[in-house]
Structure 1
Amino acid sequence: RHVLTDPVAEIALHKLKETDFDQWRSRRSPALSVSTIRRVTNDLKASLNAAAVKNRSRLPAEVALIIKNGLSAGEAAPPVARDQAALPDADVRRIIGAARAVDIDQGWDGDLLRMVLVLSATGARFSQVARMAVGDIQIQQNRLMVPTSRKGRGTKNTTHIGIRVGTDVIDQLRPAIAGKQRGEALLQRWRHVQTKATEIRPPQWVRDARGPWTAASELARPWLDIITRAGLPREVVPYSLRHSSIVRQLRAGLPVRLVAALHDTSTIMIERHYASAIVDLLDELSASAIVPLMSDQPATNVMALRAGQL
């Protein structure tokens, strides 16, 4: 929509100039968000680079440089402060409580509550949680083994990340593992099929079989019911639970490297997107190291002993 309908799409690859990209950029709708611009630009750049490699023998040598410079100028944007999307612990508990209520009202048999609870407890992405198996619960250690993300280029040397959770989370997951094989999906939901219409009854959706969650979009409709019942704005999305987990651990004093490892991301991403939480932590740590420097001021870390304590 933003490329193929634009005049830039009519220019032959060997005739492209950096000014053509500048003109394309100036014709874009001002209503486009930064993330949309970045995604469209990256897709266009990848497509042109692939075409340049395929037709390398028939293209000028500088075409790769033209693509790189033409689609990188002016696209940089300041990192998004994701810590602002983090929720207080009280709001996370309200979401879980609302998930329990919606689960009961809509007949989810605990499936919806367990999904929201695991997302909240681990801070993992939906795609990771959906791939968890029954064997990924370590009850004695109160630990969930969360599969690593499929993002990246396959350089990871581990398949799971161990995350400690509370006994309340483990207790809620016990019904999901009872009588199941270790390789079965931990979090499942009912699948429905539509019955055929008859003369006396219209078509209906009925339960067919249970199976694993397959896409984050399956959570969209019940999530809206959850946040409405919890009294939270529509801007609160399931990914807010991940932001909340990261910020909670940072403010608890966990090292940035450990927080990044537990959430299957890099320290660079943590430092870039959760700066204010890190600043708050460093501020508290530095404040605890302050001592009076004036000789007439008593030290705040000196405690008077009562008689008989020596």
Structure 2
Amino acid sequence: MAIERGLAKNTVAAYRRDLERYINFLEGRGIQRAENITRKDVTTYSQDVRDGADGGAPLSPRSAARAVVAVRGLHKFWVLEGTTTDNPAAEVQPPAVGQRLPKALTIDEVRRILEATQPETPAGLRDRAILEFLYSTGARISEATSLDVDDLFVDRSNDGPGMVRVRGKGSKERIVPMGKFAVEALDNYLVRARPLLVTKGRGTPALFLNLRGGRLSRQSAWTIIQQAAERAQIGKEVSPHTMRHSFATHLLQGGADVRVVQELLGHASVTTTQVYTHVTVDTLREIYASAHPRARL
């Protein structure tokens, strides 16, 4: 997965945890060799991880499905490598996962979050910059925290739009435009805050820095977003992905083509992006039902 398929580090880490749990499950059943694993063993594991009967934490349907996919991949790998001749996991299907519609903020809620920073401090300038960046580009939080300063492109001569090189899942690169507000917030951060923060560390090309001058972590960025949402008194759970969902939903509501949104989000398939169209359709239905004189009861 890491070398041949080039998948992201976080994806590889998640599958590693799943497979370590599977190996512990097998050892608990006294199974030491791959060829001794039966379909019943795989099915039992699939059931046990959902309720924690194997001794681990219970998994959500989505995480349990990923765990089964990891096990199926392992057994397929063993067959391809000649470790075993049979694949007892081939017909074990992952548990069904219901479609989870993304939760988007309203435009006013996003504005309140963006304005709930303290721009008079270096940390506040950084927080405003990362919040504006996430909403302006729809980038994943891991993509934002992995950015370097050299990944930014702004055409100063013609007052052109900002552009950024984003490295997505599987190290795939894409170029994404940035809006005026994001460019302005990044400029303020780069001129007034980052030089102060970088002197506290050992020097790094990272765009977003923590208070010690090192690269900002995903966990710290998550905290920045949650604290801004609390200060803005947003009465719902807000995560980095909420900003991404809001970016996509607001673009579609504004008339953007779904394939353009797909490219901006870095989705490999337009099917993944189409989940946002359901949100937009629901919104249209609500507006129609409340506004049309022949739609109301």
**1:3-22 to 2 correspondences below 5 Å:** 3-7=22-26, 10-11=30-31, 12-22=33-43
State yes or no: 1:133 paired with 2:187: no
RMSD of aligned alpha carbons: 3.2
Q: Partner residue of 2:239?
A: 237
**Mean Cα deviation higher: 226-235 or 257-266:** 226-235
TM-score, scaled to structure 1: 0.67
Instruction: Show the counterpart of 1:38.
Output: 65
CA distance in 2, matches of 1:7, 1:234: 41
Q: In 2 relative to 1, CA 267–274 (structure 1 residues): closer, same or farther, beyond 3 Å?
A: same
Displacement, 1:252?
1.0
CA distance in 1, matches of 2:47, 2:205: 52
- 2:108 aligns with 90
Which residue matches 2:90? Answer: 68
Secondary structure (helix, strand or coil) at the match of 1:77 reads coil
Aligned partner letter, 1:269: T
Q: Does 1:122 align with 2:137?
A: yes
Q: How far apart are the structure 2 equivalents of 1:147 and 1:237?
A: 23
Report the Cα distance in structure 2 between the residues aligned to 1:220 and 1:278, rounded to whole angstroms.
26
Matched to 1:133, the amino acid is: V
Call closer, same or farther: CA 1:28–1:188 in 2, change over 3 Å.
Answer: closer
Q: Which amino acid aligns with 1:108?
A: A
Partners of 2:47 and 2:125 in 1: CA distance: 51
Q: Distance in 1 between matches of 2:167 and 2:101?
A: 22
Other-structure match for 2:262: 260
Identical residues among aligned pairs (%) = 20
Higher deviation after alignment, 237-246 or 19-28: 19-28
Deviations 1:43-100 (A, max 9, x none): 333333334444x1x532xx23x32222xx2423233212xx11101111111111x1
Which runs of 5 or more residues in structure 1 are unaligned? Answer: 192-209, 285-310
C-alpha spacing 1:259/1:223, structure 2 compared with 1 (3 Å): closer
Give how far 1:21 is off: 1.8
* Structure 1 Cα separation of the partners of residues 23 and 36 of structure 2: 17
In the other structure, the counterpart of 2:84 is: 59
Rounded Cα–Cα distance in structure 2 between residues aligned with 1:233 and 1:161: 34
Q: Which amino acid aligns with 1:228?
A: E
Structure 2 Cα separation of the partners of residues 256 and 95 of structure 1: 26
Distance 1:211 1:141, change over 3 A: farther
How many angstroms apart in 2 are the aligned matches of 1:137 and 1:212?
A: 22
**1:114, 1:173 within 8 Å by CA — same for their partners in 2?**
yes
Instruction: Please tell me whether the aligned partners of residues 61 and 96 of structure 2 are also in contact (alpha carbons under 8 angstroms).
Output: no
Shift of 1:109: 5.0
Looking at structure 2, the residues matched to 116 and 177 of structure 1 have their Cα atoms a distance apart, in angstroms, of 15
Q: 2:75 maps to which residue?
A: 48
Distance 1:237 1:211 in 2: 23
Q: Distance in 2 between matches of 1:238 and 1:24?
A: 32
Structure 2, unaligned runs of 5 or more: 1-19, 52-57, 196-203, 287-297
The whole-number CA distance in structure 2 between the counterparts of 1:141 and 1:107 is 26
Partner deviation per Cα, 1:166-191 (whole Å, 9 max, x = no partner): 2x3322222344498xx954433431
Query: Secondary structure of 1:147's match?
Result: strand
Q: 1:280 Cα deviation (Å)?
A: 5.4
In structure 2, C-alpha distance between the alignment counterparts of 1:21 and 1:146, rounded to whole Å: 44
Matches within 5 A, 1:187-206: 187-191=208-212
Cα distance change of structure 1 residues 48 and 118 upon mapping to structure 2, 3 Å threshold: same
- 2:278 corresponds to which residue? 276
Work out which of the residue numbers 237, 248, 251 in structure 2 matches 1:249.
251
Which residue number corresponds to residue 170 of structure 1? 183
Kept in 2: contact 1:132–1:185 (CA 8 A) = yes
Between Structure 1 and Structure 2, the one with more helix by share is 2
Partner of 2:12: none
Q: Which stretch shows the higher mean deviation, 41-50 or 245-254?
A: 41-50
Report deviation, 1:7. 4.8
Counterpart of 1:303 in structure 2 is none
Residues 7 and 169 of structure 1, relative CA distance in 2, 3 Å threshold: closer
Q: Which has the larger radius of gyration?
A: 1
